[in-house]
Amino acid sequence: MRENSSLKDYFPMIREREEILKEIEKSFLLKGIFSGWSQKQREDFLEYASGARGWKILYDPFFKEVLNVEYDRSRLEDFLATVLGKKVKILRILPNDSTRLADETSLLITDIVVELEDGSIATVEIQKIGYLFPGARCACYSCDMLLRQYKRVRDQMKKHFSYRDIRSVFLIVIYENSPAEFKQMPDVYYHHAKQVFDSGLSMDLLQEYVMIPLDIFRRHMQNKPIESNLEAWLTFFSEDSPEKIIELITAFPRFRDMYETLYDMCNNMERVMEMFSKELQELDRNTTVYMIEEQQKTIEQKIAEIQEMETKLGQMDMELEAKRAELGQKDAELEANRAELGQKDAELEASRAELDQKDAELEASRAELGQKDAEIASLREKLQEQSQRVTSPSGKE
């Protein structure tokens, strides 16, 4: 890389900022388009078109221009071979109409479906903002592609149709901003999956998935050189830094032709501005749908939290009711004990009254006995006096 080099050093067809502004100013149509953009959007366009920044390859019209199968199949074939890990030859491009809801397509940057030489189907889908429930959505879309292939082959083969004629379906999803699930693995930017049995049973279930989060890839590549073919392709898709683009086309010269395709396209100012306007409209729709999905996600979380709180409150009510029943039982037992204690108190009071009566009777008996003792003592005294008179000498007769 030449020191202090710019993209214009490698792509002489890039025009200066002033030249671009002059052409816009001269055309009533271009001036109208340009004035309809925000200040930031105007600045972004001028930086892209003048080479101050590289074009965002993931913009749908630019992506399809560079990887146009009718123009040059080798580019998309090389990318598919890189991510699938096998030799790929494209037979034809297929229409990408599917049973997905129209609202779902609004978050897509692009969606290319091709049939390979062996009859298998490959779809390259690029999402600017990752959908909620990405696993379920990818599974449904893959099933949709498989069913479309089944119907097409069955109609072509008619009576000679056999399930051996159904080929694999590959779904390749590239996320510019990946869903939360990918953030749980912040160091992994390539995910490949196919359906297998945990028993070890060997059976081709035809569906394979490759998912690539570019935001995680960019963090992974900070201060690292571009070394592999996969790193080269993902850098091509994710980087708009002139320094990184120059590093890429120096290490992997075949990407230079792809950038030339873009900058040659910029010579048609009307076309490139209309493409950029279309992309801005799609980005606005993407943001709106994303906000709706995020709001829906927040609402669902709030509903789940409320349901959880209601469950906890219900459980607390049940526990409180059980406590109330237990307390009621304790109150009943205490009331029964109080009644029994009252009965015991009454019996004890009656016993005390009876004992007091017995004490009074005993006291009366003791008084009567004392009186009897006094009478006996008096009688004894009299008897003793008589006895003495009888025995006295003066008393002899």
- Give the DSSP letter string of 5-58: --HHHH-TTPPPHHHHHHHHHH-HHHHHHHHTS-HHHHHHHHHHHTTSS---TT
Q: Which of the four pLDDT bands, split at 50, 70 and 90, describes residue 141? A: confident
pLDDT value, residue 290: 53
Q: Which of 200-209, 249-258, 282-291, 293-302 has the lowest mean pLDDT?
A: 282-291
pLDDT value, residue 193: 94
Identify whether the C-beta of residue 104 lies closer than 8 Å to the C-beta of residue 266. Answer: no
Q: How far is CA 219 from CA 1, 198, 215, 223, in A?
A: 23, 34, 7, 9
Q: Is the pLDDT of residue 170 over 80?
A: yes
pLDDT value, residue 102: 42
- Other beta carbons within 10 angstroms of residue 77's beta carbon come to 20
Q: Which of the four pLDDT bands, split at 50, 70 and 90, describes residue 283? A: low
Residue with tokens 């290319």, as numbered in its chain: 112
Q: Is the pLDDT of residue 229 over 90?
A: yes
Report percent pLDDT > 70 for the chain.
Answer: 88
Identify whether the C-beta of residue 153 lies closer than 8 Å to the C-beta of residue 202. Answer: no
pLDDT value, residue 275: 82
Mean pLDDT within 301-316: 84
Output 250 or 293, whichever has higher pLDDT: 250
Q: Is the pLDDT of residue 172 over 90?
A: yes
Residue with tokens 């945990």, as numbered in its chain: 198
Q: Which amino acid is at 42?
A: R
pLDDT value, residue 194: 92
Rounded to the nearest 10 degrees, what angle do helices 17-26 and 39-49 cross at?
A: 120
Structure tokens at 67: 């990887």
Q: Which amino acid is at 209?
A: Y
Nearest to 170 by CA among 197, 200, 145: 145
d(CA 148, CA 140): 12
pLDDT value, residue 122: 92
pTM across the whole model? 0.68
Q: Which of the four pLDDT bands, split at 50, 70 and 90, describes residue 252? A: very high
d(CA 374, CA 108): 130
Mean pLDDT within 198-224: 93
d(CA 5, CA 292): 44
Burial class (CB in 10 A: 0-12, 13-18, 19+), 158: exposed
Q: Which residues in 130-257 belong to E strands, given as ranges?
A: 169-177, 191-194, 207-213
pLDDT value, residue 384: 85
pLDDT value, residue 246: 95
Identify whether the C-beta of residue 251 lies closer than 8 Å to the C-beta of residue 239. Answer: no
d(CA 193, CA 178): 17
Structure tokens at 302: 């709030």
Mean pLDDT within 121-134: 80
Q: Which residues in 117-168 belong to E strands, given as ranges?
A: 121-129
Q: Residue 93: which H helix or E strand, with range?
A: strand 90-94
Q: Which of the four pLDDT bands, split at 50, 70 and 90, describes residue 4? A: low
Q: Which of the four pLDDT bands, split at 50, 70 and 90, describes residue 99? A: very low
Q: Which of 173-187, 228-242, 377-391 has the lowest mean pLDDT?
A: 377-391
Mean pLDDT within 74-92: 92
Nearest to 207 by CA among 221, 193, 224, 226: 193
